[in-house]
Amino acid sequence: MAVGIFDSGLGGLTVLDAVQKRLPEVDFLYYGDNSHAPYGVRDAEDIFQLTQAAVHNMWDRGCDLVILACNTASAAALRRMQEAGVPQGKRVLGVFVPLIEALTEREWGDNSPPREVAVKHVALFATPATVASRAFQRELAFRAIGVDVEAQACGGVVDAIEDGDMILAEALVKSHVDALLRKMPKPEAAILGCTHYPLMEPVFQAALGADVQVFSQGRLVADSLAHYLDRRPQMLGTGAGGYVTTGNPARVSSRATQFLRREITFDAA
């Protein structure tokens, strides 16, 4: 029995690592679309088609529940997939939900009118495609009022991380934080809106300052998934766990092993 975790590349491994620690009894199938990564510079239609193909592949493999551990896919494809209709007994969920829940301190199913929340000034760091979609701002506006969100498109960070160039990634993060602080000098909270970014969380925190609360997705998604499966244990699925990629399995396995600091072996998707 396996739950599917999908990402365009390696960033979703930060989510996978968190959910494996939170739910050690659950098997997970990780699907990396590495041959088409990064998604963050693609247009919305391209992202939708790639995401839909990957999710259907995972459903076919017996993953009744698939988590889009990719903010770009969540922003550009999730709502459209859900509106088009999901097969009976299947589910696809995104990673925005736990972030919104944490920021607004209300559960996703709470459909009461938007209300005031404690945090008023929020910095959003995300890929260019996620920023362009305005999906985070849209979902936040349904639940909170009076929140100012300043988004910063962090071009190049995902590419540097995927290439293993952490020195370049650190320099780019500092540059993007500086750019955001020129637009919003005193954010109260910062959203790391890409699953690659937790790998650079200490750099974001240091550049933003200790008084800025940084929301990273791994733990939030893990807790949310645990609650979801408690309510819907039938969504555990029937497929086998493991790691598959559309890219070069040997290269992706090497990078993944470096990311998680434990042996990870990918097979061809």
Residues marked active site are found at 70, 194
Q: Is there a cis peptide before residue 38, judged by omega within 30 degrees of 0?
A: yes
State yes or no: 211 annotated in a binding site: no
The C-alpha R_g of the chain, in whole angstroms, comes to 18
State yes or no: 71 annotated in a binding site: yes
State yes or no: 195 annotated in a binding site: yes
Q: How far is CA 211 from CA 149, 183, 193, in A?
A: 17, 18, 19
Q: 83: helix, coil or strand?
A: helix
Q: How far apart are CA 85 and CA 9, in angstroms?
A: 26
State yes or no: 242 annotated in a binding site: no
State yes or no: 253 annotated in a binding site: no
The Cβ of residue 211 has, within 10 Å, a number of other Cβ atoms equal to: 8
Contact criterion met (CB below 8 Å) for 99 and 217 = yes
Contact criterion met (CB below 8 Å) for 129 and 194 = no
Q: How far is CA 189 from CA 49, 185, 215, in A?
A: 33, 12, 7
Q: What DSSP letter does each residue of 195-259 carry, written as one string?
A: TTGGGGHHHHHHHH-TTSEEE-HHHHHHHHHHHHHHH-GGGG-SS--EEEESS-HHHHHHHHHHH
- Tokens matching residue 81: 């997939």
State yes or no: 39 annotated in a binding site: yes
Q: Per the annotation, where are the binding residues for substrate?
A: 7-8, 39-40, 71-72, 195-196
Q: Per the annotation, where are the binding residues?
A: 7-8, 39-40, 71-72, 195-196
